[in-house]
Structure 1
Amino acid sequence: MAISRDIPRAWIRPATVMGERLKHGANDRIAFVYVAVGTVLGFVAQLPVLVRRSREPDPVLDAAIVEEAGDARILAVPADLAQAKFEAMVSGALLGWIFLMPLILYAVAMVSHWIARLVGGKGTALRARIALFWSFLVITPGLLLAGLTTGFVGPGPAANAVGIVTICAFIWVWVNSIYVAERPE
């Protein structure tokens, strides 16, 4: 089944879609693809926000970049301060989304599996990982919309509404997916 077709279906019927996904077999390669694609899209969703923030005055960050530019060890510093701020923020976002977020998601999946076991879950840690990673991948359209809204409109009621809907959708999809994943096979 095509992931692009299952993502919108999972917003409405997450348990059904998770059941179909698990019927095709659970393996770590699938879980890794879900988390890799989800975190890359999460990073991409941050780019409009970072462009907006790099163009806003930030005395602390501006001073740090100017101070670093004066360091003789720096080989190439962009002439434009906004460009330098953008590059610094993209580096941080890249580290956070591509390298740290998968580790955090793996830890959350393991803890959620342990909690499910305490309340009678019969699934495996792999199935719990797939449930969490799939849920994260499913809400990436919401993350992309939140990034665009915050980047173009700015912080405010519209960005807050998109963020709340995305968080609620994640909880909805994850609770239903973990329920299916922790049932006996």
Structure 2
Amino acid sequence: MAVTTDITATYRGPRKVIARLLQMGAREDRLLAVLMGFCALLFVAQMPRLAREAHLSGQELNPMLGGSLLALVFILPLILYLLAWVVHLAVRAVGGQGEAYRGRLTLFWALLASSPLILLNGLVAGFIGAGPALNVVGGLWFVVFLWFWIAGLAEAYWAKQ
């Protein structure tokens, strides 16, 4: 299936999508592509906010974009790999069964699948700015992300294999 089809299917049933992705076998190249796709979309989502901040403060936009690119595309993946490993260890400590690939897949897929809301959050931050609308969209993204991640962890570590 196409990634966009999988993303929309995740909103209907995240466990089914994770189960299907797990059945495709452990492929680190696919997993890295999912993570880097999310990081690239997160960078794009930050552009309207950064443009607004640069305009309002009189700063140059390019250094702000460069710093965001460095943080989101080069450093964030390392942090997310570490987070996935720590969560894998925690899940295994409470009785989950499976290899670390499952933990990475659930985290990275939850982030990518929730990326439409991150893009919306970036638009709200860029066009409206800080306020209740941005808080609502950010909170909605966080709830959806947690839903996808927890459902994915349940499928990956506790479902009958």
TM category (shorter chain) comes to over 0.9
The residue that corresponds to 1:42 in the other structure is 42
Amino acid at match of 1:36: M
Please provide the CA RMSD for this pair. Answer: 1.2
1:134 aligns with 2:115: no
Q: Give the structure with the larger helix fraction.
A: 2
2:80 pairs with one of 105, 128, 143: 105
Q: CA deviation at 1:133?
A: 0.6
1:145 pairs with one of 87, 111, 120: 120
Q: CA deviation at 1:11?
A: 2.0
The alignment's TM-score, normalised by the length of structure 2, stands at 0.95
Decide which structure has the larger Cα Rg and report it. Answer: 1
Q: Which consecutive unaligned segments of at least 5 residues does structure 1 have?
A: 58-80
How many corresponding residue pairs? 160
Write the deviation string for residues 36-62 of structure 1: whole angstroms up to 9, x where unpaired: 1000000000000000000113xxxxx
The residue that corresponds to 1:26 in the other structure is 26
Write the deviation string for residues 18-72 of structure 1: whole angstroms up to 9, x where unpaired: 1111111121111101101000000000000000000113xxxxxxxxxxxxxxx
Asked if the contact 1:146/1:162 (under 8 Å) is kept, the reply is yes
The alignment's TM-score, normalised by the length of structure 1, stands at 0.83
Identity of aligned residues (%): 38
The residue that corresponds to 1:182 in the other structure is 157
The residue that corresponds to 2:97 in the other structure is 122
4+ residue runs over 2 A deviation: none
Q: Which consecutive unaligned segments of at least 5 residues does structure 2 have?
A: none
